[in-house]
Amino acid sequence: MAVAGKNGGARRGCFITLEGGEGAGKSTQARMLAERLSLRGLECVTTREPGGSPHAEELRAVLLSGAVASLGPMAEALLFAAARVDHLDHTIRPALARGAYVICDRFADSTRAYQGALGNIDPRLILALEAVTVGATRPDLTLMLDLPAEVGLARARARRGGGATDRFESEGVEFHRGLRSSFLDIAAGEPSRCFVIDASGTPAGIAESIWVVVERRLLAPRPPGGSFKSTAAKPADGRRDDVRQDPQNQQDPQERVKA
């Protein structure tokens, strides 16, 4: 459903991305968030990368099979970009144009982390490729699901049972530790867009932490003449982890929202 703008016309929907390492629970949290937004009468589109459109799903199969790995990170980055163009053109932009909330499991930050930081591609080249591919269609909110690499890999193993690992799950633990650091660096660099969520808790607890951010960052009206007061999620040990709600404010990525 389209969202009414000031002059009665439809305005662009909201674009939410979930990022993080393997086993962080991104797809589960995307589904749970969509269900909760739908209860508000909002149209939600859940999607993923690589994939999310017919041609992008074909490229997903190639990328995750590892067939491109021998060509190096730059070749992978170019194929991810090609998949992203199709995904944006056929899924994301049409949904945003009609006022839907688009919730995407991975987006351009994953290319920055996997192929850029860990693939040692010049960040300027990654950002230039992103500018051409993504253009103005950038996330309104990015939720960085953070947990230790060892925990995430254990979850990923349990999820697939005896199935084969994909291209990235098969990397060693040091790769995944570096990946975690890369995502936290991205969050530190764009604190008005990115919120770090502690993903070590239960799915229900993590979902509630996400909802605190989404509700106040995207859904709650701004008080006249002022900004939102910070509220705190209180973990079991009684410490406070403040979530700043004003988009002009900045969040320390180490001040995680705790489940």
Q: Is residue 2 part of a domain?
A: no
Domain count, the chain: 1
Looking at residue 186, its pLDDT comes to 96
Q: Is residue 93 part of a domain?
A: yes
Q: Is residue 183 part of a domain?
A: yes
Residue type, 55: H
Q: Is residue 255 part of a domain?
A: no
Non-local (6+) Cβ contacts of 221 within 8 A are none
Between these two residues, 232 and 64, which has the higher pLDDT value? 64
Q: Is residue 158 part of a domain?
A: yes
Residue 103 CB coordination number (10 Å): 26
CATH of the domain at 74: 3.40.50.300
Q: Is residue 154 part of a domain?
A: yes
Claim: this prediction has a pTM higher than 0.85? no
Looking at residue 8, its pLDDT comes to 44
Between these two residues, 129 and 166, which has the higher pLDDT value? 129
Round to whole Å and give the CA distance between 216 and 201: 21
| Averaged pLDDT, 217-223 | 75
Round to whole Å and give the CA distance between 214 and 2: 19
Q: Is residue 146 part of a domain?
A: yes
Residue 242 exposure: Cα atoms within 13 Å on the Cβ side: 10
Between these two residues, 222 and 66, which has the higher pLDDT value? 66
Non-local (6+) Cβ contacts of 115 within 8 A are 73, 74, 76, 77, 80, 121, 126
Round to whole Å and give the CA distance between 254 and 196: 7
Tens digits of residue pLDDT in 87-115: 999 999 999 999 999 999 999 999 999 89
Q: Is residue 193 part of a domain?
A: yes
What domain range includes position 211? Answer: 12-219+232-243
